[in-house]
Amino acid sequence: MVAPYPSIDGAPLLGVHRLTKRFAGVVALNQVDLAIRNCERVSLIGPNGSGKTTLFNCITGFCRPEVGNIQYKGVDITHERPDKTALRGITRTFQNVKIFPSLSVADNLAVSLQQHQEDDLMKRILHMPSIRALDKIAAEKVDHFLGMIGLSRLRNESAAKLVYGQRKLLEFACALIPDPDLILLDEPVAGVNTTMVDQMKRYIMEINEQGKTFLIVEHNMGVVMDISERIIVLDYGVKIAEGTPAEIQQNQRVREAYFGR
């Protein structure tokens, strides 16, 4: 049992301790420590190749670190299967937007939600009232999120027909619908127009108000500075800085990492 990363108000929601990941000789993550507290908005920045997505992948169970551990709500999830980690209340989006093209927009949302509902095969076959109630709740949630992202009228269209910005919104909504506690966003505003950037910022702030924690990888510095309470900077797999947006902007090492030595 590793001591939780020291923080001001109790144990963190997510604790990453001395995480190291190697890929074919390259050290993608090097002894990375970080802690995310409940209801925080934390951004993870760094030049390309600094290990940000690798960190996400390790947290969500898509790669196994060689050294170190990851604790979520006090439980060691380091070597857990990704689907099990997801069921704990951690959701994520992907750098190259992943949705299911063969499913309709509504079904994309439904399938993201269904794992989190207590389902029972026998009850379903018998079509019992408890299951019907479950389905009703699911349908309502799907409607709610469709409305939130403005895709209600496209609900039965195949998700393959969505344009890039719509897909990003759909993926975002899919990350929210299971009522997670921790949401990992991988470049949520990459390649979208300014209207949507503002929209995304608003969503994140609103949902954060509702008690959700965000860890965001992003390159858009404007967004990062605007919405983050804390910023963590990676470079070549090493955490080189951590602090408030103001602190990071002043940080010499961060500047060097981005603009060269």
Partner 1 sequence: MKTSIQWFRWVGIPAFFLVVLTVLPLIFKTGFMINALINVVRWTIFALAFDLVAGHIGAVSLGQPIFYGIGAYLTAYLASELGLGWLGCMLVAAVLMALLAILAGLAFFRIRDVTFAIGTLGALIVTQLVANSAEKITGGALCKTGIPRPEIILPFLAKAIKIIQPIQYYFLLLPFLGFTILLYLALTRSRIGKAFTAVREDEARASAIGIYPLRYKLVAFAISGALIGALGSWQAQYVTVFCPSDMGQDITTALLIMVFVGGAARLSGVVVGAVIFSILPPFLQVMGSQYFQPAYQEILYGIILITVMLYMPDGLDGLAGRLFRRFQHHKKEGG
Which one of the spans 31-39, 68-76, 92-100, 237-245 is the region binding partner 1 (CB under 8 A)? 92-100
Binding status of residue 98 toward partner 1 by CB under 8 A: yes
Q: Which of 30, 53, 54, 112 binds partner 1 (CB under 8 A)?
A: 112
In the beta sheet, which residues pair with residue 75?
Answer: 72
Q: Which of 17, 92, 212, 230 binds partner 1 (CB under 8 A)?
A: 92
Q: Which of 82, 165, 243, 245 binds partner 1 (CB under 8 A)?
A: 82
String of contacts with partner 1 for each residue 54-73, x by CB under 8 A: ------xxx-----------
CB of 96 to partner 1, least distance (A): 11
Q: How many residues does the chain have?
A: 261
C-beta separation of 157 from 105 below 8 A: yes
Which one of the spans 28-36, 109-117, 140-148, 232-240 is the region binding partner 1 (CB under 8 A)? 109-117
Q: In degrees, to the nearest 5, what angle opens at C-alpha 61 toward C-alphas 55 and 86? A: 110
Structure tokens that stand for 191 in this block: 């390649």
Query: Shortest CA distance to 256 belongs to which of 238, 237, 240?
Result: 240
Q: Which of residues 155-214 bind partner 1 (CB under 8 A)?
A: 174, 178
Position 135: which residue type?
D
CB-nearer residue toward partner 1: 104 or 251: 104
| Cα separations in angstroms, 148 against 12, 50, 142, 200, 227 | 30, 34, 10, 11, 20
CB-nearer residue toward partner 1: 158 or 251: 158
| Cα separations in angstroms, 189 against 5, 44, 152, 169, 219 | 30, 14, 22, 10, 9
CB-nearer residue toward partner 1: 99 or 232: 99
CB-nearer residue toward partner 1: 107 or 143: 107
Q: Which of 94, 143, 197, 245 binds partner 1 (CB under 8 A)?
A: 94
CB of 81 to partner 1, least distance (A): 7
Give the strand pairing for 75-76 and 26-36. unpaired
**Separation CA 124–CA 104 (nearest Å):** 23
How many residues form the binding site for partner 1 (CB under 8 A)? Answer: 32
| Cα separations in angstroms, 46 against 27, 92, 176, 179 | 15, 19, 25, 29
Query: Shortest CA distance to 185 belongs to which of 82, 55, 78, 81?
Result: 55
| 3 state DSSP class of 94 | coil
CB of 111 to partner 1, least distance (A): 4
Binding site for partner 1 (CB under 8 A): 60-62, 81-84, 86-87, 91-92, 94, 98-103, 107, 110-112, 114-116, 119, 124, 132, 135-136, 174, 178
